Structure 1
Amino acid sequence: MVVQTIREWSGIQQFPAATQTKVLELLEKLHHENVTTLTILVMGKGGVGKSSTVNSLIRERVVNVSAFQACYGFTRTRTRAGFTLNIIDTPALIEGGYVNDRALDIIKRFFLNKTIDILLYVDRLDGYRVDNLDRQIIKAITDSFGKAIWRRSLIVLTHAQLSPPDGINYDDFFSRRSDAILKVVHLGAHIKRQELQDLEIPVVLVENSGRCRTNESDEKVSFLYFFVIKPFQRAIKNDIRKESKPLWEQRDMGLSNCQFWYGFPQELGSF
């Protein structure tokens, strides 16, 4: 993994004023809760918008990723008011039509002595099918990090500002696409039916281009508040309960019965 130099989170100033206020209030609350870091792992196939989503999160312009970074992934670390945000943008999980086991091994080794607070699994809303390869990706992630990684996950569907095919309204199109991806996650992660109620994975829409609709405060609709603010609020309440070792390391030591931090709020759901 390519680790970038720690930088001040100056991109906050590029958010709309209303969002800046919410983020800064949240960082102040994090400080009082003695929570100083949050680590987000971004995974998915190539070309789905992982890097653009990372740039939207920290509000920086998209940068050109070198072939070295594309192969190994990279970490962006930003600090603000004593809080450190780590976002790990990973290599594509598919290479030559197969799961990229080398990339997964690099990611797993990178996190051996670190904690994943949030997993963002990124795909495109305008994808029209899921297949066995998607299931293999989910299985590979689960084999590497354990089934419980999905308890702290969020499904991110990019390219959300689209026009559905004729005869299908937007809500129905989104519902079908999200249901199809959730189904393949449940199958690939071997999540049993009786486990579904306690493992409700939120699905959110993201549009990283300038086409995204905004509200009266110039905030991206259904993105900035729910995707940035709400997960951080949940992190405040739960981050203190982190284990000293990641679950996949505990599992290798025979300690897989330890609890795993849950991550995201159930109320996010699909919107």
Structure 2
Amino acid sequence: MEIKAVSEWSGFQTFPEPTQAKLDVLFGNLNQQNVNTLTILVMGKGGVGKSSIVNSILGERVASVTVFQEEVSTPLMFSRSQGGFTLNVIDTPGLVSGGQVNKQILSSIRSFLLNKTIDVLIYVCRLDAYRVGNLDRDVTKAITDNFGKEIWRRCLVALTHAQFTPPSELDYIEYFAERSEAVLKFISSGACINQQEFQDHGIPVALVENSERCETNGLGEKIVPDGTVWIPNLMEVITGVALNGSGAISVGPKVTDSTLFGKLVFIPMVLVECLLVKLIKLAIDNDIAKETKSF
């Protein structure tokens, strides 16, 4: 597990000037709210584009992405500084292997995040996936079990592979809405979030297209098929989550039976057992004494 040192955000200059201007406004809004550091955690199954999102956000190829290896094998944090503002982006391995949630990977991510504060979780899925199932619910349940239900209050969903042509019976906006609804339903199920909670605090969804085939507008900014300039839009959603009023997630050690808490719970149980044994023995002795007297 490795933490990259903070460095100047050279990739910022690779964005088209209109995108730079929009990002400057967003970071300025954060500074006005006394937020000068933002830590983003990127999680999801393998092959969904997590590392590519990290590269796109930073405008740099910091995470290795190849045809045969699409993600990191251990958590990595990349830190960049721009105009007094520090952005930390944490890339993580895919949470599934062999058709099930990999508990060892989750444990390594948790260890990496120990004593760190997470401002925003980007949960990554693919737009061009048609179905969700039990495995998707298992993933969100595992995230909830490891980081608490409150992490979903600091979450946004990123749907990658947005340069996608939906089935002929659906237009793009309709398909995006249905896919978003399906993803949010399995998050709700896996995280045990009821309908009222979702209504009170919804999880936003953003479109992402990391590939070179992503179209651009007349200003050179990358756009998705619905016309959204997606990089500043993603960052706007991120800053909105960061300022939504819920508390940031501080990752502490998990409480298990082997911890002090577990031992403190166990000690009273031992005392109760000893007391019960003594009471039973006393009752038996009293019965014997009574029988002796009557005899």
What TM bracket, shorter-length normalisation?
A: 0.7 to 0.9
**Correspondence list, 1:75-86, <5 A:** 75-86=77-88
The CA distance in 2 between the partners of 1:7 and 1:45, in whole Å, is 29
Secondary structure in structure 1 of the residue aligned to 2:72: helix
Structure 1: runs of 5 or more not aligned: 255-271
Provide the residue aligned with 1:176 in structure 2: 178
1:70 is displaced (CA, Å) by 2.6
For 1:173 and 1:29, the matched residues in 2 are separated by 33
Listed one character per residue, the Cα deviations across residues 177-227 of structure 1 (whole Å, up to 9, x for unaligned) are 111111100000001122121121111111111222333322223212221
Structure 2, unpaired ranges of 5+: 262-295
User: Considering only aligned residues, what root-mean-square deviation do their CA atoms show, in Å?
Assistant: 2.7
Cα distance in 1 for residues equivalent to 2:32 and 2:174: 42
Larger radius of gyration: 2
Matched, 1:232 2:236: no
Aligned to 2:101: 99
Identity of aligned residues (%): 50
1:186 to 165, 180, 188: 188
Separation in 1, partners of 2:203, 2:29? 26
CA distance in 2 between counterparts of 1:157 and 1:230 reads 13
Partner of 1:88: 90
- Partner residue, 2:250: 246
Q: Which has the higher contact order (CA 8 A, sep 6+)?
A: 1
Q: Partner residue of 2:41?
A: 41
Q: Is 1:116 equivalent to 2:123 in the alignment?
A: no
Contact 1:52 1:62 in 2 (8 A): no
What is the 5 A alignment of 1:150-161? 150-161=152-163
Give per-residue Cα distances to partners, 1:122-161, cap 9 Å, x unaligned. Answer: 0111111111011000000001111111111011110001
In the TM superposition, residue 62 of structure 1 has moved relative to its aligned partner by: 6.2
Distance, in Å, in 1 between the alignment partners of 2:174 and 2:88 is 35
Question: Is the CA contact (8 Å cut-off) linking 2:114 and 2:251 kept in structure 1?
Answer: no
Give TM-score, length-normalised by structure 2.
Answer: 0.76
Deviation at 1:71, TM superposition (A): 2.3
Instruction: Tell me the distance in 2 between the aligned counterparts of 1:159 and 1:99.
Output: 23
Q: Which residue of 1 aligns with 2:222?
A: 220
Q: Which amino acid aligns with 1:53?
A: I
Alignment deviations for residues 48-92 of structure 1 (CA, whole Å, 9 cap, x no partner): 01011111101113653698x832121111111222111011011
- Secondary structure in structure 2 of the residue aligned to 1:70: coil
> SS of 1:120's equivalent?
strand
**TM-score relative to the length of structure 1:** 0.83
